[in-house]
Amino acid sequence: MYRDHDIIMLSSSRWDDNLSSSALSLAKEFSKSNRVFYIDHPFSVKDLLCRKNRTGLKSRIWALLFAKKNCRHIKNFPTGFVAVTPMLTIPVNWLKEGRLYNFLSEKNDKILHLALRTVVKKYSINRYVFINIFDPFFFKSFPNDIKPTQNIYLTVDDISQEEYISRHGVRLEKEAIARADFTFATSKELVRRNKLFSNRVFYLPNAADISIFKRAASVILSRPEELKNATGKIICYTGVIGTRINYNLLKEIAIIHHDKTLVLVGPFFTTDYIDTGLCNHANVVFTGAKHINDLPAYLQYADVAIIPFEYNQLTKSIYPLKINEYLAAGKPVVSTAFSEDIRDFENVAYVAKTNEEFLYFIDLAIKENTMQKRVERINEAARNTWQNRVETFWSVLEGQSKVAVLPVEAFSKK
């Protein structure tokens, strides 16, 4: 019914962002069988003036200023994937809700409508499914002559806990969910909450780029430079060094497991690791940001992978990308029990309810790391692929998915 449609997707992340992106992974999977037009989260005039993300701005300057060269195929991406760059938008998030905000926000939507019209005309699109991934600030409406067959919204985080975007994001996301034909949510907690605004909210958890991370378990990779002087067993975390992490727990790990090396691979989005004194420990290594294709090498030489997230309102709504990445690499995983979704992995991961358990599980995970457990982890990750998520997506739209018809009671607290 809809599988032969083109897909136009707006995302809160861009195709060339350094961080792993569920939106981009989903888009690339769709583009193996459909034409996918991936509209970047717009740059604003403020971004240009502040020269924020200079590399991204420079590569898009003709599109941003003159609406030229705004569609392009990306090397090493599926042939069905087309990146789309809209013109510069007006920065409005700093404004209070009201007439001025609404007026300028409508102007921004018209800028996005121009990009949409360009794509529809250039590629002779007749029928398309529109997917907005966690970017409710745009496409609050569509031109009557080029409306999508299905309007989909996908929420990936508790937007109320994201300080900057929550200013208008909370209200706009509720409106986006109410307008959408279907809404998908990446965690059970998000399904529960957003059922308040629509009776068409379905569970579509994150997955993993298995082809990337299984390299850690199947081929010999060069030992990363930062690990060449590492002593003892290696405890590894990959991801943003941000506010979701329990830095006091990491400090305890560094102290209690002083015979091991704690390696943190990812970009810095907070100074909490400095404030807690974590960076003062000799057995802690920070590598900084790395490309997703470089992560398997760090995991291959790790003895255990960790997810040391805090227990709070934000993490309660998270289904972490990294759980399936770690499992695909065959690594034992120790995580805090921060969400219902992570607790669903207790059959293949060590999920700690306290810091003391977490510290104990690190040694236990290393000790119990058998070939059988390694195979079980890899098999679990193989069930959580983007290919499977795409199939679930189409099944929901076609009314064939058993998962899709689960009542909200199925997501009641455990």
Residues 195 and 249 in one domain: no
pLDDT in tens, 126-160: 999 999 999 999 999 999 999 999 999 999 999 99
Query: 210-254, pLDDT tens digit by residue?
Result: 999 999 999 999 999 999 999 999 999 999 999 999 999 999 999
Does 256 share its domain with 351?
A: yes
In this prediction, residue 105 has a pLDDT band, given cuts at 50, 70 and 90, of very high
Give the domain-ending residue among 165, 184, 203. 203
What average pLDDT score do residues 108-132 get? 97
- Asked if 298 and 223 touch (Cβ cutoff 8 Å), the reply is no
Residues 51 and 196 in one domain: yes
pLDDT (0 to 100) of residue 19 = 73
142 and 172 assigned to the same domain: yes
Q: Are residues 308 and 265 in the same domain?
A: yes
Task: Indicate the residue among 169, 203, 237 that finishes a domain.
Answer: 203
**Cα–Cα separations (whole angstroms), residue 6 to 3, 37, 126, 273:** 8, 8, 8, 45
**What is the rounded average pLDDT of the residues 102-130?**
97
For range 172-187, the mean pLDDT? 97
Question: Is residue 185 located within the same domain as residue 214?
Answer: no
CA–CA gap between residue 247 and residue 276 (Å, rounded): 7
Q: What's the pLDDT band for 94 if we cut at 50, 70, 90?
A: very high
**For residue 111, what is the domain's CATH number?**
3.40.50.11010
> According to the model, what pLDDT value does residue 412 have?
43
Residues 100 and 173 in one domain: yes
Cβ–Cβ under 8 Å, residues 276 and 300? no
Check residue 32 and give its pLDDT.
Answer: 96
* Residue 132 is assigned to a structural domain of this protein: yes
The SS3 assignment for 128 reads strand
The average pLDDT across 316-339 equals 96
Count of domains forming the chain: 2
Q: How far is CA 66 from CA 69, 85, 113, 121, 273, in A?
A: 9, 11, 15, 17, 43
* One domain, residues 24 and 155: yes
What is the tens place of the pLDDT at every residue in 363-399?
999 999 999 999 999 999 999 999 999 999 999 999 8
Res. 409: pLDDT tops 60: no
231 and 195 part of one domain: no
Which of the four pLDDT bands, split at 50, 70 and 90, describes residue 81? very high
> Does 263 share its domain with 174?
no
The reply to whether 161 falls in a domain is: yes
Query: Is residue 414, in this structure, part of any structural domain at all?
Result: no
- The whole-angstrom separation of Cα 412 and Cα 169 is 26
Rounded to whole angstroms, the Cα distance separating 191 from 102 reads 28
What are the tens digits of pLDDT across the range 27-73?
999 999 999 999 999 999 999 998 777 888 999 999 999 999 999 99
What is the structure's pLDDT at 51?
76
Query: 354 with 331: CB under 8 angstroms?
Result: no
Residue 312's domain comprises 210-382
Kindly state whether residue 264 falls inside one of the protein's structural domains: yes
Domain boundary among 203, 237, 268: 203
Flag whether 335 is in a domain.
Answer: yes
Q: Is residue 85 domain-resident?
A: yes
Written as six digits, the tokens of 148 are 């999508």
The pLDDT, as a whole number, for residue 220 is 97
Q: What is the pLDDT of residue 408?
A: 41
Please indicate, yes or no, whether residues 224 and 135 belong to a single structural domain of this protein: no
Query: Mean of the per-residue pLDDT values for the chain?
Result: 93
Q: Is the pLDDT of residue 410 over 60?
A: no
Q: What are the DSSP calls for 158-198, one per residue?
A: -GGGSTTTHHHHHHHHHHHHHH-SEEEESSHHHHHHHTTT-
Q: Would residue 100 count as lying in a domain?
A: yes
pLDDT digits (tens, 9 = 90+) for 295-327: 999 999 999 999 999 999 889 999 999 999 999
The pLDDT, as a whole number, for residue 400 is 58
The answer on 342 and 237 residing in a single domain is yes
**Do 5 and 149 touch, CB atoms closer than 8 A?**
yes
Q: Give the per-residue pLDDT at 191.
A: 96
In a domain, 389, yes or no: no
- CATH code (residue 337): 3.40.50.2000
Taking 70 as the threshold, does the pLDDT of residue 119 lie above it? yes
